[in-house]
Amino acid sequence: MSKKIDVSKFEKKMIIRNIVPDDFDDIIEMSKVCFPNMEPWERKHLQSHVDIFPEGQFCVEYDGEIIGSCSSLIINFDEYDDQHTWDEITDNGYITNHDYEGYNLYGIEVMVHPEYRRMKIGHRLYEARKDLARELNLKSIIIGGRIPNYFKHAKEMTPRQYVEEVTMHNIYDPVLTFQVMNGFTMKRINPNYLEDDRASLRYATLMEWNNIDYRPTVPKRQFKTSFPVRITTIQYAMKKISSFEDFAIQCEYYTDVAASYHSDFAVFPEIFTLQLLSFLPEKSPSLAIRRLTEFTEDYIELFTNLAVKYNVNIIGGSHFVEEEGKIFNIAYLFRRDGTIEKQYKLHITPNERKFWGISGGNQVNVFDTDCGKIAIQICYDIEFPELARIAVDKGANIIFTPFCTDDRQGYLRVRYCSQARAIENQVYTVLSGTVGNLTDVENMDIQYAQSGIFSPSDFTFARDGVVGECQANIETVVVGDVDLEILRRNRRAGSVNQLRDRRHDIYSINYKQT
């Protein structure tokens, strides 16, 4: 009787999946093999792709080895010049211009290891892109394709003649022929598309695949002349109270004020919950903070209910929270739909470390809201320009900064840096600080603040880049509108463009995400 054959020893599994950081080294080595005369990917490019649009980055894993990959982003193609270059359409390979609300998937690279060609690897990657376009209800896939055999025919043919011959299958081109066979049609030919593509003499064919399942009756984006977002930032008075209920009444009052102005966001200051210590007898700062953390669940429940009740997104200042024996300074986003997010303070001041033993977090988060993407950077964090740049590269349009400073010098550090971040990153920034005195709370006896809302500095924004600001050191609020559509246009065609004009060729930020 013959032995049963174990087929598992013959299996070689092929998987199409999204790229993860562990794949970067293999992809970089593969790019050197696939495009030996061109600049290969660098880790900073691939990390940016995965951070910004992870679902658009695919690889093929065969028997545990990466043998193919492709990268893409979403754009509104109509917003780009007909004769755009690869650098323009990809923001020099970093895809920070990716637009989730766009209509077109733009493919910026496909490669298959030479040893595994003729195995339909490229076709599988293209099918993954098509499935993604259908899933995201995108209108089309657009690619700027190389014509790597053109150099062989350049003396006797123009680029257009060469493309026509390849399209009619009279000449074989490994890229263009493949694209035609995969259902892509010609839009035009772009000169000077990819600087180091010498084989194509820097020409590229702009090709498009139309998604016949696209549903125009369910638009991804309503184009508007404006996209206003109203913000109420609260200059909160730190005064003695006798119970948590007193604290809740004060917080609800300000939330009600924000809602009465039909605000989209109400912004509270950093560690304003220290007001609760005014009715606790503990005088040691480190022990008092441990007592304060006991109110965490009450604080979260209070602001969750306020956000839903008053239909306003609340940046809940920040609060000291104990997690696994450590104390963190955490800012919470309470969305008006009842969901909650949080951002840990990353940079801890010497004062926080000395008196309270606070630990720092390790992630820069960007949060989706019904008014676009936002980030929260607590007080000292806004003084580190790398954090704002990372947040904006992840899509943030507004950076909220709850802060707490005891003197004018400390306040001005926060303010000047907040305004600098607005200019450097073409983003709105918002400050909310504490004022008043807590005479019986150690290390929180005096406060200095002038809360405000700031914009980039250009013709389309408020004069001096100040949307609105409070009077210094009084209990009050300021209400202001910021316009995300104006911000979007400014990033496209402002007097200057700090985001687009960055020199990625000589510097970059390496975000070591944990």
Domains of the chain by range and CATH?
A: 12-210 (3.40.630.30), 229-493 (3.60.110.10)
**Phi-psi bin for 71: left (phi > 0), alpha (psi -120 to 50), beta?**
beta
Using CA atoms, how far apart are residues 237 and 475, in angstroms rounded to an integer?
5
Using CA atoms, how far apart are residues 477 and 258, in angstroms rounded to an integer?
9
The b/e string for 453-467 (b: 16+ C-beta within 10 A; e otherwise) is: bbbbbeeebbeebbb
pLDDT of residue 301: 96
> Tens digit of pLDDT for each residue in 427-450?
999 999 999 988 777 767 788 999
Work out the burial of residue 307: count CB atoms within 10 Å of its CB; fewer than 13 is exposed, 13-18 middle, 19 or more buried. Answer: buried
pLDDT of residue 183: 87
Chain position carrying tokens 């306003």: 312
**Nearest 5°: CA angle at 499, between 266 and 81?**
115
> Tens digit of pLDDT for each residue in 78-108?
888 777 888 888 888 899 889 888 999 999 9
Q: Is the dihedral of CA 11, 16, 22, 27 positive or negative?
A: positive
Range name among 8-17, 111-120, 415-424 with the lowest pLDDT average: 8-17
Range name among 229-238, 394-403, 499-508 with the lowest pLDDT average: 499-508
Long-range contacts of 502-506 (CB under 8 A, 24+ apart): 502/92, 504/91, 504/92, 504/93, 504/94, 505/92
Position 467 confidence tier, pLDDT thresholds 50, 70, 90:
very high
Q: Annotate 223-257 with DSSP letters as a single string.
A: --S--EEEEEEEEEEE---SSHHHHHHHHHHHHHH
Check pLDDT > 70 for residue 404: yes
The b/e string for 409-430 (b: 16+ C-beta within 10 A; e otherwise) is: ebbebbbebbbbbbbbbbbbbb
The overall average pLDDT reported for the chain is: 90
> Tens digit of pLDDT for each residue in 118-156?
888 988 999 999 999 999 999 999 988 888 889 999 889
> In this structure, are residues 72 and 179 in contact, taking their beta carbons and an 8 Å threshold?
no
Average pLDDT over residues 44-58: 93
Residue 241 in tokens? 């109270």
Check pLDDT > 70 for residue 220: no
How many residues belong to the chain?
A: 514
Residues labelled as active-site residues: 270, 345, 379
> Tens digit of pLDDT for each residue in 183-208?
888 888 888 888 778 888 888 888 89
pTM of the model as a whole: 0.69
